[in-house]
Structures are given as C-alpha cells and as structure tokens.
C-alpha cells in the first residue's frame, strides 16, 4: 500500500477533503487499514451524506489515484473512529 502523503491529517479534519486508501487486490475485510474514521460529508450542492470511511484528510483536493479515493465533498462531521476490525470475520 502506498504511504499517506506527508501533509495528511490523521485523524481527519472537519472542513477538509476526505481520502480512503484501499489495499491493492484486497477482497477481505481483514485487509482494511486501521484506524479509520466514519464521516459525514457535505457535497458541492450542499447536501450531506453519512457513512464514508476516511483514512486522512487534506486541505486541498488532490484527486484520486489507483487504490486511493478522494471522496466527493468535504468533511462536515466525524462520527466514529474504527480502531480494530476483527480479523476472524466469516461471511
């Protein structure tokens, strides 16, 4: 996995752009990078969406890259921190 940018804010900061790093070729919950935060985002049209996983934030929009997603909108609220996901999940 690529490292987070040097200027990345962890925990994420309200009012900044939200980013999520996915494990390359991941098909399992055990590979989700911890910790991460569940955030509410304000979209450009003013509407709000809840439940986005965020690893870090940046004050500027840098866009997405392979296995790195920049969520649309900016962080308006940080609702939950997820520090540990059980590695024995069975689906």
For residue 88, the model assigns a pLDDT of 44
Cα dihedral 42→51→31→65 (10° resolution): -20
Contact (Cβ atoms closer than 8 angstroms) between residue 54 and residue 39: yes
Q: What is the pLDDT of residues 16-61, one digit of tens each?
A: 999 998 766 555 544 456 789 999 999 999 999 999 999 999 999 9
Neighbours of 67 (CB within 10 A): 14
Contact (Cβ atoms closer than 8 angstroms) between residue 58 and residue 4: no
The whole model's pTM is what?
0.79
Does 75 or 82 have the greater pLDDT score? 75
Any idea where the domains of the chain sit in the sequence? 17-82
Residue 31 CB partners (closer than 8 Å, separation 6+) = 23
């Amino acid at each position: 996995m690529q490292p987070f940018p040097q200027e990345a804010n962890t925990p994420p900061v309200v009012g900044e752009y939200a980013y999520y790093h996915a494990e390359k070729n991941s098909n399992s919950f055990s590979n989700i990078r911890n910790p991460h935060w569940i955030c509410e985002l304000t979209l450009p049209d003013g509407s709000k969406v809840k439940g986005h996983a965020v690893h870090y934030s940046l004050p500027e929009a840098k866009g997405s890259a392979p296995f790195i997603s920049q969520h649309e909108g900016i962080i308006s609220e940080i609702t939950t921190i997820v520090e540990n996901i059980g590695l024995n999940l069975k689906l």
